[in-house]
Structure 1
């Protein structure tokens, strides 16, 4: 092990403030590129050029594109669970938390488009058998968070009973991600923002009718 450096199976994590700042810069840069182009269309050279680092400096932190992509996935997952989780759970009831979920997610994507790299990376990296086990943990944690909101709402009588929370969570996440993919095809580029928001709010209205019990 290098002095002052802690190694994991995928990356080297620096112990100094400067090293941590450089690593954070790499993660932000890579997240933006992966969100825009996807994993397969992004080359190692693209990532190195965008980072502004030398090849040697880049490889000090991440030994491959896959290692960097996994690190981006973990970092962005933590951001989703922290930022979205804190805002959603600040609402007093499960039904209000469900209502807050989509607007909060839209706000995060609007402020930080790179946050969308989670979905693209999860889809692309899961196709690699060597990475699939690690990648599957990311959506699993997100689904568990949403399923917990559904389960508590059912227990409190705020949300319709009789549906499995895990299945409801999977449908909600799948629909949200699917609407983004559809919008990217129908209205590519910057034009997709408004269309995606309108479609998601329509979806949220349908969810409210289907899941939220009358007051």
Structure 2
């Protein structure tokens, strides 16, 4: 990695938590300067604009999130155990190497759905990627006779994502952790019934 690539990566790593906590519109150039210790010219010498930094920060946060999930799944044997990782991590995400501020898909989706087409597209792509990963797990479970052949992998995957993300959103907005726990309990029952 050359010096310019190292500087870009440094900027991404330092600003990613800010974008994930404050959102695109809430993150200012002064926030980026404070986080990196670089000047405005240095930041925009490596990125064309705030959009480019935000898109790279989203990718970084998403990779961090998927890596935390994948690392936990690698320690599990059955498909159900792997699916239950979502419950475990999202119920206790502060104890995992998860992006600061929580799920970047949820955070970005809520903010960018009507305001930032490029970030919205990134969030939508992340949902489709996540859905495909779950669908593949479901298909493997069916092929291994661990899960019911009557399952619709697409339906199970998108429902699981909606419940997990919805549980986090409701809990964050209301400040009621018991709501997240209750929804994760329902997700666990759903997975165990597969």
Same fold (TM over 0.5): yes
> Measured at CA, do residues 60 and 49 of structure 1 come closer, stay the same or move farther in structure 2, by a change above 3 Å?
same
> Measured at CA, do residues 180 and 66 of structure 1 come closer, stay the same or move farther in structure 2, by a change above 3 Å?
same
Q: 1:147 aligns with which of 123, 135, 150?
A: 135
Shift of 1:131: 4.9
Deviations 1:17-44 (A, max 9, x none): x444433332233222122222222223
Which blocks of at least 5 consecutive residues in structure 1 are unaligned? 1-14
Bigger radius of gyration: 1
Q: Secondary structure at the match of 1:177?
A: helix
8 Å Cα contact 2:164-2:183 kept in structure 1: yes
Q: TM-score, normalised by structure 2?
A: 0.81
Shift of 1:183: 0.9
| TM alignment of 1:78-93, pairs within 5 A | 78-93=63-78
Q: How many residues align?
A: 191
Query: Which residue matches 2:50?
Result: 65
Instruction: Provide the C-alpha distance between the structure 2 equivalents of 1:51 and 1:41, rounded to a whole number of angstroms.
Output: 17
Shift of 1:209: 4.5
Query: Which residue matches 1:28?
Result: 13
| TM alignment of 1:1-215, pairs within 5 A | 15-16=1-2, 18-106=3-91, 108-111=93-96, 112-114=98-100, 115-127=102-114, 128-187=116-175, 195=178, 198-211=181-194
Q: TM-score, normalised by structure 1?
A: 0.74
Deviations 1:101-136 (A, max 9, x none): 321455555344425234212443343335544442
Which blocks of at least 5 consecutive residues in structure 2 are unaligned? none
Q: Secondary structure at the match of 1:152?
A: helix
